[in-house]
């Protein structure tokens, strides 16, 4: 899963959202100096990634891209699944996606000093392009894939995956909806476990 899903699956705790969002910038156990909520968010992020990568439905979706994109098929499908979350946002939240995104950008800005350096550097561009809302359309999805391809030195021409996405669009969307229901349930259980382990009450 990509940014939008990770933020959403953190529920309403601000620090858990921040930790889940920036977890990829924190390697190994280098999170001990962060507030407990952020530590929980980082651990939840890693659980979500592990659960997603091993799930048969996600693997079925990703397999459609593997022949042409190899290792990067997972990177691409994470973004595609976020597209379907944004597209179907009204099924998961009563808050408009645009407001949800603005609130999260404001949260990051108001906690800028505790963000990882990589996240601090990324934030202005993310806000400028309104990345979380950009996913919602196919044009925005293609733009995000183009940007990701640039960040990975144009190794596999990620935006070319739009051909497969459009070809199998309905199938991948249904796979996402089925998978995300299971992911929500498992993430909630894991989040409750982490809060208990850390004696974290909000």
Displacement of CA 17 from its chain's centroid (Å): 11
What Rg value do the Cα atoms of the chain yield, rounded? 16
**Average pLDDT of every residue of the chain:** 94
Query: What confidence score (pLDDT) does residue 147 get?
Result: 86
Q: Span 123-149, mean pLDDT?
A: 92
pLDDT level of residue 201 (50, 70, 90 thresholds): confident
14-22 vs 36-54: helix axis angle to the nearest 10? Answer: 50
Query: What confidence score (pLDDT) does residue 132 get?
Result: 95
């Amino acid at each position: 899963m990509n940014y939008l899903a990770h933020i959403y699956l953190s529920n309403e705790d601000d620090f858990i959202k921040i930790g889940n969002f920036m977890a990829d910038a924190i390697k190994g156990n280098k999170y001990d100096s962060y507030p407990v909520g952020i530590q929980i968010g980082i651990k939840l992020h890693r659980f979500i990634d592990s659960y997603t990568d091993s799930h048969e439905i996600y693997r079925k979706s990703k397999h459609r891209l593997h022949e042409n994109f190899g290792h990067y098929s997972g990177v691409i499908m994470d973004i595609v699944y976020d597209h379907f979350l944004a597209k179907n946002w009204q099924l998961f939240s009563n808050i408009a996606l645009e407001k949800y995104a603005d609130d999260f950008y404001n949260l990051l800005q108001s906690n800028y000093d505790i963000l990882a350096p990589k996240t601090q550097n990324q934030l202005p561009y993310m806000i400028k392009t309104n990345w979380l809302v950009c996913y919602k359309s196919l044009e925005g999805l293609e733009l995000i894939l183009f940007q990701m391809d640039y960040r990975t030195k144009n190794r596999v021409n990620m935006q070319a995956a739009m051909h497969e996405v459009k070809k199998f669009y309905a199938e991948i969307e249904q796979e996402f909806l089925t998978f995300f229901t299971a992911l929500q349930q498992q993430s909630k259980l894991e989040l409750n476990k982490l809060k208990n382990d850390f004696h974290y009450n909000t």
